[in-house]
Chain A
Amino acid sequence: MSQLALVIDLNKCVGCHACATNCKAWNTAGEFGPLTDTEPYGKQPEGVWFNRVQTYEIGKYPKTEVINFPKSCMHCKNAPCVDVCPTGASYKREEDGIVLVNYDDCIGCKYCSWACPYGCREFDGHEGVMKKCTLCVDRIYNEDLPEEERKPACVLACPTRARTFGDIDDPESEASKAIREKHGYRLLPEAGAGPSNHYLPQRKVKVELDEDEICVKPLAILTIEKKITSYREQIFDDFMSP
């Protein structure tokens, strides 16, 4: 048994929405058919997205910070959406733990989306079926793609490499190591769904120095500074000389 999942580093996420945009681009053009939009160029565009980046402000002005919070299907181990599906259209793959919807069997009753504590399923009103993150199952096993591109679209798009993809049941995988070493956690464990996606916390890096440590500049730093200054001067001279 393996369980593929995403590990999202909130410390690195800059909220650029590249993951969501690339997800939409791939999955609209991919094997699962379009993610339909209503009024895409109108006043209130709406549409199906597998991945949404929400933004939160923490603290009080002027001491505020921004948290960018991407959220997509957690591919839960004990997925409540699969249990409640009346047709068996929602299922969890045994081989890799991905939760998928068979669009040909879905009757569009929306019951699975009610059973999901995370709100990670979105109803496509045009096709009348429930849609959700497929963990790019049509990419990760796709032999037409070069091997380094056999990853979910969101992971490939992330410019800060905040997203890691891997088997969280394999202790040697990159994802498992990230969870272990960077204090990965799950969302709402209280709901009992056993989500597989993990988040790495936003860290506040602080260095504590005593006063005597601050006033003395180490010799190494002084040497480096001197070198940099002389290097700058050299470049300047080269540039200015005829």
Chain B
Amino acid sequence: MRPERSLILLLVLAGVGQGIFVFLAVADIAWGSYGWARPEVIYWLGVSSLAFAFAGMAASLFHLGNPMRGWKAIIRWQSSWLSREAVSMGLFSGAAALYLLLYFFSAPSGLRTLVGLAGIFAAFALYISSAMLYARISFVREWSNKLTAINFMAFGLASGVAVSYAVLCLLGFNYTAVREIAAVLAAVGLILKAASLAFNKTVYVPLDIKNALVMNEPNIKLMSTGTSYEHYNTKEYSSGFTDAQVRSVLILSLFAAFVLPLIIWAVMTQWPDTPAAGILASLAALSMIAGLIAERGLFFIQGNHLQNLYYATFRSNSASNPLLSKAKKGTPAPVK
């Protein structure tokens, strides 16, 4: 699929915003009684969460052909995951804004905790509906698996905590616990990404152009794409990147999203009272966001749409047929 810039920004930036809010609400519930944060910390974390979420929402409007009608997306929430995404986006930003207001009007902490829990629920609903939007398309096997939703959550939380840590460091609160949480989440993210890459290698769609045209002919060659050489169907469903390009972007994205932040945090562990904590933590967070943007771009590029069968651009990964590869290793293929 074509990597759509506005959608990549929506998924990554809104994911960061949700992650920050989940961190803020959970930290406030867990550490609130210890006085973990002064008002400006809550303020900056809440504002950055909302800013990221709104930046993502604004980016998503550029994807729409008719942004002025965007509000209509909430209508069919019973059947469409995109609609559910829009609804939970609204609920999440509403809850996050209310949480911040309640804090400043010194509302009773029980009420704030309740709104915080609602916000956490909305944030996870948003992660899941954003992911299910893609996972729902069952014939794009790289998308329609459980790792899609798990990865959206894991990457969003990891980047949210990384940005929260950067905000804390910039305000002068270099909490070791937050850094450790961020590091654990980044490591989990790296493992999940590796699992998803391993899964993609095993994806095997037993279809080719013969199935698409329902003709058992050994050599079928596309001569004309129909009326114009390039059109919506030849552009929207293929990325135009070569395998070598994809591989190098993949390595860069893994390094920027997970490895570099982990290295920076490890340096900060060795150098606990560094005056440059704010800059280092911000660098880690920015690197992670940049890496995740590339990662989400690859998520689109690796999606292999079934209609590509008709345009001879379908990657029929016949080498990964599980039965054949088993037979190659010496274990006999099951015979009926």
- Nearest CB of chain A from residue B69's CB, rounded to whole Å: 5
Cβ of A113 and Cβ of B236 under 8 Å apart?
Answer: yes
- Nearest CB of chain B from residue A135's CB, rounded to whole Å: 19
In chain A, residues 187-206, which have Cβ atoms closer than 8 Å to a Cβ of chain B?
Answer: 187-188, 190-192, 199, 201-202
Which stretch of B162-170, B174-182, B303-311, B322-330 is in the interface?
B303-311
Apart from the given pairs A86-B75, A128-B66, A185-B214, 10 other A-B contacts in the complex at a CB distance below 8 Å: A53-B226, A55-B223, A56-B220, A66-B223, A84-B79, A106-B65, A116-B307, A117-B306, A119-B310, A190-B211
Is B133 interfacial (CB-CB < 8 Å)? yes
Which stretch of A40-48, A150-158, A166-174, A229-237 is in the interface?
A40-48
Complex contacts, A85 vs chain B, CB 8 Å: 76, 80
**Complex A-B, nearest 3 residue pairs according to Cβ-Cβ distance, in ascending order:** A108-B65, A128-B65, A119-B307
Cβ of B221 and Cβ of A56 under 8 Å apart?
Answer: yes
Whole-angstrom distance between the alpha carbons of A226 and B229 in the complex?
53
With contact pairs A48-B232, A87-B73 given, residues A71 and B136 touching in the complex (Cβ less than 8 Å) = no
Whole-angstrom distance between the alpha carbons of A48 and B236 in the complex?
13
Cβ of B72 and Cβ of A192 under 8 Å apart?
Answer: no
Complex contacts, B223 vs chain A, CB 8 Å: 55-57, 66
Task: Give 8 CB contacts A-B under 8 Å.
Answer: A52-B227, A55-B223, A86-B73, A86-B76, A89-B72, A122-B232, A127-B65, A190-B139
Is A147 interfacial (CB-CB < 8 Å)? no
Is A31 interfacial (CB-CB < 8 Å)? no
Cβ of A71 and Cβ of B310 under 8 Å apart?
Answer: yes
Complex contacts, B228 vs chain A, CB 8 Å: 44-47
- Nearest CB of chain B from residue A44's CB, rounded to whole Å: 7
Is B248 interfacial (CB-CB < 8 Å)? no
Whole-angstrom distance between the alpha carbons of A199 and B306 in the complex?
19
Cβ of B82 and Cβ of A58 under 8 Å apart?
Answer: no
With contact pairs A66-B223, A86-B83, A87-B73 given, residues A123 and B207 touching in the complex (Cβ less than 8 Å) = no
Chain B residues with CB under 8 Å of chain A are 1, 63-67, 69-70, 72-76, 79-83, 86, 133, 136-140, 207, 209, 211-215, 217-233, 236-237, 305-311
- Nearest CB of chain B from residue A19's CB, rounded to whole Å: 11
Cβ of B63 and Cβ of A109 under 8 Å apart?
Answer: yes
Whole-angstrom distance between the alpha carbons of A118 and B314 in the complex?
13
- Nearest CB of chain A from residue B39's CB, rounded to whole Å: 39
The contact size tier of chain A is: 35 or more
Whole-angstrom distance between the alpha carbons of A119 and B236 in the complex?
10
Is A141 interfacial (CB-CB < 8 Å)? no
Is A83 interfacial (CB-CB < 8 Å)? yes
- Nearest CB of chain B from residue A133's CB, rounded to whole Å: 13
Whole-angstrom distance between the alpha carbons of A155 and B82 in the complex?
36
Cβ of B212 and Cβ of A86 under 8 Å apart?
Answer: no
Whole-angstrom distance between the alpha carbons of A69 and B213 in the complex?
8
Cβ of B82 and Cβ of A86 under 8 Å apart?
Answer: yes
Among A57, A105, A118, contact of B307 (Cβ-Cβ < 8 Å): A118
Cβ of A123 and Cβ of B219 under 8 Å apart?
Answer: no
Cβ of A84 and Cβ of B65 under 8 Å apart?
Answer: no
Cβ of B76 and Cβ of A17 under 8 Å apart?
Answer: no
Whole-angstrom distance between the alpha carbons of A199 and B310 in the complex?
15
Whole-angstrom distance between the alpha carbons of A192 and B139 in the complex?
9
Whole-angstrom distance between the alpha carbons of A163 and B305 in the complex?
28
Complex contacts, B227 vs chain A, CB 8 Å: 17, 20, 49, 52-53
Cβ of A119 and Cβ of B237 under 8 Å apart?
Answer: yes
Whole-angstrom distance between the alpha carbons of A54 and B63 in the complex?
29
> Mask for A103-143, Cβ within 8 A of B = 1, else 0?
00111111101111111001111011110000000000000
Cβ of B66 and Cβ of A107 under 8 Å apart?
Answer: yes
Complex contacts, B74 vs chain A, CB 8 Å: 86
Cβ of B211 and Cβ of A188 under 8 Å apart?
Answer: yes
- Nearest CB of chain B from residue A187's CB, rounded to whole Å: 7
Among B66, B136, B226, contact of A129 (Cβ-Cβ < 8 Å): B66
Whole-angstrom distance between the alpha carbons of A109 and B72 in the complex?
11
With contact pairs A108-B65, A111-B133, A192-B138 given, residues A187 and B222 touching in the complex (Cβ less than 8 Å) = no
With contact pairs A52-B227, A56-B222, A57-B221 given, residues A114 and B64 touching in the complex (Cβ less than 8 Å) = no
Is A217 interfacial (CB-CB < 8 Å)? no
With contact pairs A45-B228, A105-B69, A119-B310 given, residues A54 and B222 touching in the complex (Cβ less than 8 Å) = yes
- Nearest CB of chain A from residue B218's CB, rounded to whole Å: 8
Which residue of A has the minimal Cβ distance to B72? A87
Residue among B63, B73, B233, B309 having the largest count of chain A Cβ atoms under 10 Å = B233
Complex contacts, A113 vs chain B, CB 8 Å: 232, 236
- Nearest CB of chain A from residue B57's CB, rounded to whole Å: 14
- Nearest CB of chain B from residue A182's CB, rounded to whole Å: 14
Residue among B138, B213, B217 having the largest count of chain A Cβ atoms under 10 Å = B213
Is A88 interfacial (CB-CB < 8 Å)? yes
Among B65, B217, B311, contact of A59 (Cβ-Cβ < 8 Å): B217
Is A18 interfacial (CB-CB < 8 Å)? no
